[in-house]
Amino acid sequence: MRRKLSVVIISKNEELFIAEAINSANFADEVVVVDSGSTDKTCSIAKELGAKVYNQKWLGYGAQKNYAIQKTKNKWVFVLDADERITNELKLEIKATLLSPKFQAYKIARLNNFFGKNIKYCGLYPDYSIRFFKKGSGKFNIVPVHESFQTKKEVGTLVNYMKHNAFNSISEFRKKQLNYANLSCKKPNIFKAFISPIWIFLKIFIFRLGFLEGWRGFLIAVIYSEYTYRKYSERK
């Protein structure tokens, strides 16, 4: 018998994305949305599509996801962001895995779309992260940004990927990275502020074949370099 699955999504003002996210999770036994104060139609859309909606003041990325997991009723959970989509191939693989899980946690690949194109280079694919797991096998760490699921259990890897509608515009991408830089800034370090951005650009654009993505690869490398510079040059 297949184990029951809960999909959790955290949200705030995601009315343009939430419907597709929930619809991509329509194979799950429940969808739980934890919203942190949306002023648009996010919550009403989620409720109309059958999701259970909870309101919770923003706790931080990791803590908010841990809270959402606690609201689920099933033992197996898939954590999905509002701008991510579970593909049909991944749905079938998840359902098959739930019949007889060999692990308590699984890594999922993610195909990122930047400015209207799926990006296979720049080090952005397969972009693995643990998103599918049995409750109690671990939890998300509490960090300002780039949270990840931490577990001491052996981790499996699924073959198929989910899609991530990362950024539609260059300005949106740059704004998000500058915000991340402010959240994760380190103690100012002049040496790292000078050297690290150069290394990041070379790593993304040259060594990780970002040049094969054309102008998108170049801009991705530049903006990640700027993020790195600000992380080491600005004070909290």
Instruction: Supply the pLDDT for residue 235.
Output: 61
Q: What is the predicted pLDDT for the residue at 236? A: 55
The rounded distance, in Å, linking the Cα atoms of 207 and 9 is 34
* CA gap 125, 122 in Å, rounded: 8
Measured between alpha carbons, how far apart are the two ends of the chain, in Å?
A: 52
- Where are the chain's structural domains? 5-167, 170-233
Q: What is the pLDDT of residue 183?
A: 79
Nearest to 34 by CA among 3, 57, 2, 6: 57
Long-range contacts of 164-169 (CB under 8 A, 24+ apart): 164/81, 164/83, 164/84, 164/85, 164/110, 164/111, 164/112, 164/113, 164/127, 165/17, 165/83, 165/84, 165/85, 165/113, 166/83, 166/112, 166/113, 166/114, 166/119, 167/114, 167/115, 168/115, 168/116, 169/115
Total-model pTM: 0.92
Pick the CATH number of 5-167 from 3.90.550.10, 3.40.50.1820, 3.40.50.1860, 1.10.10.10: 3.90.550.10
Residues 227, 181: Cα–Cα separation, whole Å: 6
Average pLDDT along the chain, 236 residues, taken 10 residues at a time: 96 97 98 98 98 98 98 98 98 98 98 97 97 98 93 98 95 92 79 93 98 98 95 74
- Residues in the chain, overall count: 236
Position 191 scores a pLDDT of 85
